[in-house]
Chain A
Amino acid sequence: MTDAATVKPMGAGPRVRSAPAAWTLWLARRLGLAVLTLWLTSVLVFLATTALGDPVKAILGKSAETSPARAEQIRAQLNLDDSIFERYAHWLGGLLTGDLGTSVANQQPVSELLGDRVINSGVLVLIAAVVMIPIAFGVALICANARGRRTDQAIQLVLLTLAGLPEFVIGILLVAVFSTTLLHILPAVTISAGGESPWQNPASMILPVATLVLAVAPYIIRIVRSTLLEVLDSDYVELARLKGVPERVVLRKHALLNAIVPGIQVIALQLAWLAGGVVIVEYLFSYPGVGASLVDSVRNSDIPMVQALAMIIAAVYVVVNLVADVLSILFTPRARTAIGS
């Protein structure tokens, strides 16, 4: 995942490529790996969703006995009479052409059912990221600046406590404080009349976003803080200090820049986790996103929906990591030159 770290200066490499060509090659290799990862995921997802016994029984449950017509319809819809290879080829072909199939529970196209929900979850994670990143770097800077002092210790205690709390506990506490028990100033859930998107009622987004930020930020802050401290202890920062550069400038100009790469990596990991992990937050706030519909679809044994959602979440993982790697390389002079030279 952290390709940036593995890219080493190529010492006595005999061949010398032009910088753009080298970049293209690197990107192509990285994209190729991403596609390979997704293809392997598709095989795993397909096997996992088809190896679980007779889907017709799973879908119809108590009424499988009494509705043979419906059973027959599902068999046809899932192509259950074809061989497993034919079914996989059919499914993969659909994926590649943007046809995600038809929901068994609802008889509507999966893409139609998921479109809004993918956007909703994306917006939630995006807002959380936009709020979280400056806060995380800011708090990490404050901590590093006050290393070992009372402010730092107090913040570390809060962060460790937050990191130890499951996100649903954080969410329930926030709701109790701001919506139900103590104060009544924010909506407790994101429901809205007329099928508006949740962000059209911004007040209802505050608590879900706050929950995600509080659940994820502690990890990022702690990693950025420790990187900052590492840099602050290094010889070249010592040299800068000796030359008379003020501590504040040292922190901002030297340490922060060096902490960006590990920061990007951990943010990427956390964002990728959010793509699949928002489910608890979505449940708690009745937020119409992908996490909640994944649970619903698993419960309904709605195989086309589960397959599509699994692939969407896998794609988010792959893309977020790819972007993080590119950014990491751009921010690491050594790695940048290694590819370019």
Chain B
Amino acid sequence: MNGLSRRDVLRLGAYAAAGATGLGSLTACGAVPPKPDPNAPQKRGGVLSHGATGGGLKDTLDPHSPVTNPDIARCRNLYEPLLAWDEDYKIQPALAKAVTPNKDATVWTVELRDDVVFHNGKTMTADDVLSTLARVADPKAPTSGGVELSGILDLKNARARGPYVVELPLSSPYAVLDQLLAEYTVGIIPADFDVANPVGTGAFKYDTFQPGLQSSFLRHDDYWGDPAWVDELLIFDFADDSAKVNALLAGQVQSVDNLPSYLVDSISDQGSSALISETGAWVPFTMRVDVAPFKDNRVRQALRLIADRQQMIDQALNGYGFLGNDLYSPFDPAYAKDLPQREQDLDKAKSLLKQAGQSDLQVELVTSTAVGAGGVESANLFVDHAREAGVDVRLTKADPNTFYGERYLSWPFAQDFWNTRNYIPQVAVCAQKGATYNETHFDDPDFNDLIATARQETDEAKRNQLLQDAQEIEYDTGGYIIWGFKRQVDGYSNLVQGFVPHRYMPCTSFEFRRVSFV
């Protein structure tokens, strides 16, 4: 193995410190590596170590049912979907050169690259794609990435038209199938896949795996795209934030995801940099539109006007966020950005509550640490804001098991968390009739019709108009208070280069093939 190994990097820190002490200084301040020159050419070799947040005995290498954060990082490097989300959250070709619908979006044609080689040396063909989709979208037991696909794909009639072309008929028209096929949970695997020997097409191939501890991967030399710069990739699980950051600062790992945002400034003094990306992740308040007092839209409107959104971003997210307008999917081309930004208006909120006969409103808000960073903090702020409007909000902090236990999806007023998704796939899981996680119990016939029509509309301009009309309904009568979207904060060592902000996933979407040592 040539280039810089993990041990060398450790030693680098060690002799830097030794050098500093040798000169009679106690500190190693002068020894921290400076930020690399962004124009310096990347070079080959070395072992890249990544510190992943969380993980545990639930860890798995299953490409289609990742459970923990380290699972996602592994998945992104072992397996690849047909299409890929780029830095701007736009769809790009990947294993497929093109994925195109027919005129009424009832049959989609997938044109595969002919130069994609699995880790075991086999060339990827249409059969592999068909068997992957059969596993992901099994109507009886769809995997986590296949719940939506299983409702649309007509797998019985799907077929290969030649070795590199797949024809996918749908059971109902769906104009944005490409968005579902770009998800990392639909990684293509060979027909004879066995999770004990995980084979994919990713830039790294499997070497070792210990649930809750670590995994290692080697560069896939026959990769169809730009191959990885480093020879080996290690992913370590970290249950504790300070251990994770200490490992970064001590040079034992070169990148960490989900850096606590209060550390952004201090790590930059110690040879590391923060990587800050926009995301479409949101931590909404959820009001059930079918039970009192939220049944009355004036109450929902009032509570939406009570939230001081900017303060929530500044305090609950330490400033790492941007304003929300009670709508989701901010990166969708159809995002209704022209609707007026809702701001705190306590007088209007009070008068709406008075009209609704709820001047002395008392409600219980259920939260939990399980909704992630910014959740409990924003709930506390909301209690304060509500008090100013004369609304008594009682905060209940449920432990994660209770929160996502039997009463999940039936709390009248609670919180939840969602990651970046475009509008139609997001609606399918949270807002339309029959959606699995419809926390607000939103069920508006006009809204459902608009979505159903838009799903079939292949003309993008027409489809976007339909979706904007649907968003206007949610903006006026929905049950969510969406005060902001999170920015993703990760950290990486100045000894490596190649990390760039990415909207899809942390750490440049975990695309470690793009990273090299300086």
Give the B-binding residues of A (Cβ under 8 A). 53-54, 57-58, 61-67, 69, 103, 105-106, 113, 172, 175, 179-189, 191, 193-195, 283-286, 288, 292-293, 295-297, 299-302, 305
Which residue from B21, B28, B56, B243 sits with its C-beta under 8 Å from A189?
Answer: B243
Determine which of A58, A172, A188, A296 lies in contact with B252 in the assembled complex, contact meaning CB atoms within 8 Å: A188
Chain B, residues 245-256, CB within 8 Å of chain A (1/0): the string is 011011111000
Contact partner of B58 (CB less than 8 A), chosen from A62, A66, A69, A106, is: A106
For the A-B complex, the count of residue pairs with Cβ-Cβ distances under 8 Å equals 133
Choose one: B242, B249, B401; the contact of A181 (CB below 8 Å): B249
Query: Given A193-B6, A305-B57, does the pair A187, B252 have CB atoms closer than 8 Å?
Result: yes
Give the interface segment out of B8-16, B185-193, B310-318, B444-452.
Answer: B8-16
Cross-chain contact B239 with A58 (CB below 8 angstroms)? no
List chain B residues, Cβ under 8 A from A63: 144
Q: Tell which of B14, B211, B242, B404 touches A184, judged by Cβ atoms closer than 8 Å.
A: B14
Task: Determine the residue in chain A with the shortest Cβ distance to B408.
Answer: A62
B345 to chain A, nearest CB (A): 34
- CB contacts (< 8 Å) of B59 on chain A: these are 106
Chain A residues near B16 (CB-CB < 8 A)? 184
Q: Which of A69, A105, A183, A299 has the most CB of B within 10 A?
A: A183
Q: Does B158 reach chain A (CB closer than 8 Å)?
A: no
Q: In the complex, A194 Cα to B213 Cα: how many Å?
A: 10
Compute how far the CA of A323 lies from the CA of B398 in the bound complex, rounded to whole angstroms.
43
On chain B, the residues within 8 Å of A66 by CB distance are 147, 436
Contacts of A113 in B (CB 8 A): 57, 211
Q: Which residue of A lies closest to B58 (CB)?
A: A105
Contact, CB under 8 Å: A188 / B246: yes
Kindly state whether residue B196 has any CB partner on chain A within 8 Å.
no
Structural contact, B28 and A299, CB atoms closer than 8 A = no
Q: Are B246 and A195 in contact (CB under 8 A)?
A: no
Contacts A69-B141, A182-B28, A184-B28 given; indicate if A295 touches B246 (C-beta within 8 A): no
B contact set with A: CB distance below 8 Å:
6, 10, 13-14, 16-18, 21, 26-28, 31, 47, 49, 56-59, 141, 144, 147, 208, 210-214, 216, 234, 236-240, 242-244, 246-247, 249-253, 270, 370, 400-401, 404-406, 408-409, 436-437
A69-B141, A185-B14 are known contacts. Are A105 and B27 too (CB-CB below 8 A)? no
Q: For B253, what are the chain A residues with a Cβ–Cβ distance below 8 Å?
A: 191
Q: B58, A179: Cβ atoms under 8 Å?
A: no
CA distance A106 to B404 in the complex (A): 20
Select the residue from B59, B211, B238, B250 with max chain A CB neighbours within 10 A: B250
Complex alpha-carbon distance, A187 and B49, angstroms: 14
- Give the residues in chain A near B239, CB-CB below 8 Å: 283, 286, 292, 295-296
Min CB gap A169→B, angstroms = 11
B418 to chain A, nearest CB (A): 12
Q: Is the CB of A62 within 8 A of B270?
A: no
Query: Once bound together, how far apart are the Cα atoms of A259 and B236, in whole Å?
Result: 46
CA distance A66 to B147 in the complex (A): 9
Q: Are B247 and A195 in contact (CB under 8 A)?
A: no
B214 and A191 contact, CB distance less than 8 A: yes
Assembled-state Cα–Cα distance A248/B27 (Å) = 42
Note all chain B residues with C-beta closer than 8 A to A62.
404, 408, 437
**In the complex, A69→B249 CA distance in Å?**
44
Q: A195-B208, A284-B243, A301-B401 are in contact. Are A180 and B250 (CB under 8 A)?
A: yes
- With both beta carbons as reference points, the residue of chain B lying nearest to A295 in the complex is identified as B239
Partner of A172, one of B236, B242, B244, B405: B242
> Ordered nearest first, which 4 A-B pairs have the shortest CB separation?
A188-B250, A184-B13, A188-B246, A180-B249
The answer for the CA separation of A173 and B28 in the assembled complex, in Å, is 16
Q: How far is the CA of A113 from the CA of B26 in the complex (A)?
A: 43
A181 neighbours in B (Cβ, 8 Å): 249, 270
Tell me if A175 and B57 are in contact (CB < 8 A): no
Q: A177 vs B45: C-alpha distance in the bound complex, in angstroms?
A: 31
Asked whether B250 lies within 8 Å of A184 as measured between CB atoms, the reply is: yes
Least Cβ–Cβ distance between B135 and chain A, in angstroms: 15
Say yes or no: A58-B251 contact (C-beta < 8 A), given A106-B211, A188-B246. no
Considering the chains assembled together, what is the distance between the CA atoms of A69 and B400 in angstroms? 22
Residues in chain A near residue B14, CB distance under 8 A = 184-185
Q: With both chains docked as a complex, state the minimum distance between the C-beta of B474 and any C-beta of chain A, in angstroms.
A: 22
List of B residues within 8 angstroms of A295 by Cβ:
239
B330 to chain A, nearest CB (A): 23
- A-B contact list, 27 entries, CB within 8 Å: A63-B144, A65-B409, A106-B58, A113-B57, A175-B250, A180-B270, A182-B26, A182-B28, A184-B31, A185-B14, A185-B17, A188-B249, A189-B250, A189-B252, A193-B214, A194-B216, A195-B208, A283-B239, A284-B242, A286-B238, A286-B247, A293-B57, A293-B212, A296-B239, A299-B56, A300-B57, A305-B57
A293-B56, A301-B401 are known; give 6 further A-B pairs, CB within 8 A. Answer: A64-B405, A65-B409, A172-B242, A175-B246, A191-B49, A284-B240
Kindly state the separation between the CA atoms of A319 and B47 in the bound complex, as whole angstroms: 44
State A305–B437 Cα separation when bound (angstroms): 30
